[in-house]
Structure 1
C-alpha cells in the first residue's frame, strides 16, 4: 500500500515508518520540523529513514492548505496515518495558537485531502488526555470525555469530533487512537522520563509534581507500533457487514505505574540518585491514567508485552549511545 505518514520525524511517526517500510509498504512522510524540541533529534530520526527504498520525505506544515491539497493531488494514498500534531500539555498553556494551527487546521487539511482523493482508511492520533477529569478507571472509549483540563486535550477531542463528522458525511472509514504515555528510545525530550534523565546526568534536581503522587499508563514504543500496524494491516472494523465509519481505540499498557517507581527504575539504570524538587500538581495535569484495551485486543489482537523496567533499560541504553555521538 501507499501510505502517507504525517509527523514522520516525530517519535511515534518515525518508528511507524520504519516498521511499515520493513513490511513492504511505500511511505510518503511529512513533517514541519518545528523547534518545539531539539530539531537535531528530528533530523537524526529522519536520517534513519532517508535513502531507504520506498520512502520519500516532504517538509510540509499541516496547516499549509495549498501545500496539503497539492500533496494529495500528486499522490494516490491508500491509507493515511495522521500522527503529526503539536504535542505537550504544559506548552499549550503558553502557546495556544500553535495547537489550533496544527491540531485543528492541520487535521482539517488531512480530512479534506482524504475526502477528495479516495483514501480508503484514515488512522489518526488522539490522546489519553481527552479523558481529562474523569475519575472512573480504567478509561474506556465509551466514557464521556467532555471535561478536558488542558487546551491540548480539547484540541484532541475536537479532532475526534471532526473525524466523526467527516466519516458520517462522506462515508470513508476513520479510526482514532488514544495513545497513553508512550516512551522509549528516540523519544520526546519534553516527556518526564527523558527530562529526568537529562537532569540526572547533568547533576541537576528533577521537578516531581503532586509530590510524586501520580500514576501513568506507560506504554513502550514497540507495543504501540504493533498496535498501529495491526490496524493498518487489518483495516477498519466492520459492523453488520458494513465498514464502521468512525471508531476510537485505546492504545495503552493497561497497567498504571507510580511516578516514583518510574523514577527509581530510571535512577537504578543510570546509576545515579536524583535530587528531587517536590512540587504541587501543575495546571493541565491529571492524577492518573489507565487504559481499558479490551476492544483493541478483541478487534486487533493488541496485547502489550514490555514491562516498564525493560522499556526504561532500553531507553537508557539508547540515551547513552546517542549522547556519546
Structure 2
C-alpha cells in the first residue's frame, strides 16, 4: 500500500478519489484551501466523511503557500502525489482571471517542486478537455496538437501540461496528466450544469440552456473517473529509449517519462437530452430559458479513451441516465427536497 498526497481533497473529484484510495488500503494525506468559490459547508462535509477513515489526514492550506505545502509534503513523504486542486470553472475565468494564475500556475509549480524534491514514484495532475479548445476533429485524441485554447482556465491547464513535461524531462519525474470530460455525480459542484439544472427544476426556477440546447458533452460519471485515476497511479510512464519504442496509440513523450490520458465516457450526449433525463428523474418539467452560446464555450466535447483502456484495461461506461438518477437521489437527500 502507498502513501498518497491528494491536493483538492475536499473537492468534488478529490473527495471521491480519496474515498476510493482509502477503501483500497492506502494512506491518504489531503490538502485543500477550502476556498469560497462555492459553498464551503459542502467541502467541509466531504472532509468530515473522509476523516472517518483512520488512514486519512486533512490539511487546510492554499497551493500558493509553498512553505505550508512543502512542510506537509516533507513530513508525509508520499510515494505518489495526485494534484487535483485548482481554480475551476470556464465561466468564472472571465470574471476573476487572476485566481487562475495564482492557483493553477503558481500553485501547480509549488506542487511540482515538492514532487521533484521528494522524487516521488509518480506525479499525476489534472488537466481538462477544455485544452482541446477550437479543435474540431472528434473524438479528441491525446496525440492531437492543442494550441487554440479559448479561455484562460484552459490556457492555464495547457501550461500545466507543458510545465510538467519539462520537469519530467529534466528530473526524470514520472508524470501523467489526465484530461477530464464533464464530470458529474453525487457531491458535485454547485456551479456545474447538473447541479444548477436539478436545483432549478426542483425549485420551479428557469434554467439557462446555452446555444439553444445545440451542445454536446462527453458526460463522465465521477466514480468512473476516479477509478481511472486510481488505475493510472499504478501505470507510471517510463522514458523510452527511442521514439520507435512508443506504441502508435500512446501519447508518451519521446524525451521524458510523461504522457497525457483522456478519461471520458467515449460518447457525446446532446444538452437537451441531458435536461430531459434530469426532468424525468425529478418528475418536474423544466422551464427552459434558451440562450446564445457563452463566451469561451465550445459546441461539443467527445473523448477518445482508447489510451486509458490500453494502459489499464478499463473504460468508463456509466449511462448518463443512471448517473443522473444517482445525483438527483443524493441532491434530494442532502438538501431534504
Q: TM-score, normalised by structure 1?
A: 0.97
**Matched residues in 2 for 1:60 and 1:72: separation?**
12
Match of 2:183 in 1: 182
Q: Deviations over 1:139-164 (max 9, x none)?
A: 00111111000110000000000000
Please give the alpha-carbon distance, in whole angstroms, between the structure 2 residues aligned to 1:43 and 1:125. 22
Partner of residue 113, structure 1: 114
CA distance in 2, matches of 1:301, 1:104: 32
Structure 2 partner of 1:302: 314
What secondary structure is seen at the aligned counterpart in 2 of 1:324? coil
Q: Does 1:282 align with 2:283?
A: no
Deviation at 1:233, TM superposition (A): 2.8
Q: Which secondary structure does the structure 1 equivalent of 2:29 belong to?
A: strand
Q: Alignment RMSD, CA only?
A: 1.5
Q: Residues of 1 paired with 2:72 and 2:188: CA distance?
A: 28
Say if 2:275 is the partner of 1:269: no
| 3-state SS of 2:6 partner | strand
Task: Please state whether the residue corresponding to 2:101 is helix, strand or coil.
Answer: helix
Say if 1:140 and 1:292, in contact at 8 Å, map to a contact too: yes
Q: Work out whether residues 133 and 148 of structure 2, in 8 Å CA contact, stay in contact via their aligned partners in 1.
A: yes
Aligned partner of residue 147 in structure 2, secondary structure: coil
Q: Work out the CA distance in 1 between the residues paired with 2:118 and 2:158.
A: 25
- Compute the displacement of 1:239 (Å): 4.1
Aligned to 2:40: 39
| Partner residue in 2 for 1:211 | 212
What is residue 92 of structure 2 aligned with on the other side? 91
Aligned position for 2:325:
313
Residue in 2 that maps onto 1:66? 67
- Contact kept, 8 Å, 1:230 with 1:300, in 2: the verdict is yes
Whether the aligned pair in 2 keeps the contact of 1:187 and 1:194 (CA below 8 Å) is yes
Within 5 Å, give how 1:230-241 maps onto structure 2: 230-236=231-237, 239=240
- Give the structure 1 partner of residue 249 of structure 2: none
* C-alpha distance after superposition, 1:46-74 (max 9, x if no partner): 11111311100000100111112212222
1:324 to 299, 312, 336: 336
The gaps in structure 2 that reach 5 residues or longer are: 247-251
* 1:236 to partner: Cα distance: 3.2
The answer to whether the 8 Å contact 1:237/1:299 transfers is no
Give the number of aligned pairs: 325
| Residue aligning to 1:51 | 52
**5+ residue gaps in structure 1?**
none
- Bigger shift: 234-243 or 220-229? 234-243
Partner of 2:142: 141
Of residues 271, 284, 289, the one that matches 1:259 is 271
Aligned residue for 2:31, secondary structure, equals: strand
CA deviation vs aligned residue, 1:3-32 (integer Å, no higher than 9, x gap) = 000000001100000010011110000000
Question: 1:322 & 1:52 partners in 2: Cα distance?
Answer: 21
* 3-state SS of paired residue (2:335): helix
Q: SS of 1:277's equivalent?
A: strand
Distance 1:7 1:72 in 2: 14
User: Displaced runs of 4+ in structure 1, greater than 6 A?
Assistant: none
1:247 counterpart = 2:259 = yes
Q: Distance in 1 between matches of 2:48 and 2:216?
A: 35
Residues 123 and 175 in structure 1, CA contact (< 8 A), matched pair in contact too = yes
Q: Does structure 1 retain, via aligned residues, the 8 Å contact 2:182–2:218?
A: yes
Contact in 1 for aligned 2:181/2:220 (Cα 8 Å): yes
